Amino acid sequence: MERMTAPAPASRRVLLAAPRGYCAGVDRAVIAVEKALEQYGAPVYVRHEIVHNKYVVQTLQKKGAIFVEKTEEVPPGNIVMFSAHGVAPVVHEEAARGRLATIDATCPLVTKVHKEAIRYANEDFDILLIGHEGHEEVIGTSGEAPDHITIVDGPDDVAKVEVRDESKVVWLSQTTLSVDETMETVDALKQKFPLLVSPPSDDICYATSNRQAAVKAMGAEADLVVVVGSKNSSNSIRLVEVALDAGARAAHLVDFASEIDEAWLEGVTTVGLTSGASVPEVLVEEVLEWLAQRGFADVEIVKTAEESIVFSLPKELRRDLRTEAAELVAGGAEE
């Protein structure tokens, strides 16, 4: 763990987690909506919030994105983009029936879990999908093989899990869970099904794990941890839980600096600050400014990992952008 300490020590300080904020999947999805708006003009319909962040959604709405919950809400002949959380195959079918052009902004790390589900279902495994019932990503992954998948929503769910053949069971997971709680669930499942197969690689994504590790590293020292993120953001909610488990006296989730309650600062000398994977840095900067105005001007970065992952844009957009570039080049050559 690397620490960059501000020069003047002070009794009041902020521990700023790194990494925090945007992950590669969110960055790609948000840029995809912006590029689609530039490329095709408004409106661009997006099924479900492109990422679970109020500020991002409001900003894209102002630029001309229209967010819908159901595919049928999109008028025929329009473009619909699927969010970073992924969709079930039935949603692609709905779009085809509604004569919609689609852009799939599903995070490649979610797509990886979909492919695992398809593969194990084809091999006739029972798949125990650890995740939160009703979460968009879990709905999408389950939809790949509904007859083979059972959702396990934490260790307390294990007792009621039943399978057809105990020698053919595999567990997969949602990408944005608590690493520790998921391992607890897996241990409980292994107790019940000793032959349980594990996925070939981690389903909890690098961004979720890294953000939790950074919060763990500073949680014990923090009197208060502020997590910037929306209430429907799974990975942001997990950061609050991880901070408390790591020893923080209090932890709160806020969308904006204006939601911080001054009373939370009573008796506090060290504030931990982080943000979920769908949160733009501008919102963290606003919280830093809010804290500085209240005497928390010294900021110490608690860095536990470097991140350099970048995903290319959805293939439908890349294709159209290439075509447009080719037309521009051809047009330029004719002039």
- Applying CB under 6 A, the residues found at the interface with ligand SF4 are 23-26, 84, 107, 109-110, 175-176, 205, 207-208, 235, 277
| Smallest separation (angstroms) from ligand SF4 to the CB of 193 | 26
| Smallest separation (angstroms) from ligand SF4 to the CB of 182 | 14
In whole angstroms, give the CA distance from residue 310 to residue 315. Answer: 15
* Cβ nearer to ligand SF4, comparing 59 with 269: 59
* Cβ nearer to ligand SF4, comparing 175 with 178: 175
In whole angstroms, give the CA distance from residue 316 to residue 227. Answer: 34
Helix axes 108-122, 24-40, angle to 10 degrees: 110
Quick one: tokens of 124?
């006739």
Quick one: tokens of 314?
């959805």
Q: Which of 116, 137, 144, 262 is labelled catalytic?
A: 137
Q: Are 240 and 227 in contact (CB under 8 A)?
A: yes
Beta bridge partners of 254: 228
What DSSP string describes 159-213? GG---S-TTSEEEEE-TTS-HHHHHHHHHHHHHH-TTPBPPSS-SS-HHHHHHHH
* Cβ nearer to ligand SF4, comparing 17 with 109: 109
Residue length of the chain: 335
Quick one: tokens of 286?
């606003």
CB contact set of 134 (below 8 Å; sequence gap of 6+)? none
Closest C-alpha to 292, from 324, 317, 322, 260: 260
| Smallest separation (angstroms) from ligand SF4 to the CB of 29 | 7
In the sheet that holds 65-68, the strands lie side by side as: 65-68, 44-47, 79-82, 101-104
Shortest-Cβ-distance residue relative to ligand SF4 = 25
307 is catalytic: no
| Smallest separation (angstroms) from ligand SF4 to the CB of 249 | 27
| Smallest separation (angstroms) from ligand SF4 to the CB of 204 | 8
Quick one: tokens of 210?
């890294």
CB contact set of 308 (below 8 Å; sequence gap of 6+)? none
How far does CA 86 lie from the centroid of its chain?
A: 11
Phi, psi angles (nearest 5°) of residue 297: -95, -20
* Cβ nearer to ligand SF4, comparing 108 with 155: 108
Question: In terms of DSSP bridges, do strands 65-68 and 79-82 run parallel, antiparallel, or are they unpaired?
Answer: unpaired
* Cβ nearer to ligand SF4, comparing 205 with 215: 205
* Cβ nearer to ligand SF4, comparing 178 with 270: 178
* Cβ nearer to ligand SF4, comparing 14 with 314: 314
Quick one: tokens of 263?
């009373």
Q: Is 233 exposed, middle or buried (0-12, 13-18, 19+ CB in 10 A)?
A: buried
SS3 225: strand
| Smallest separation (angstroms) from ligand SF4 to the CB of 317 | 17
| Smallest separation (angstroms) from ligand SF4 to the CB of 300 | 26
Which residues have a catalytic role annotated? 137
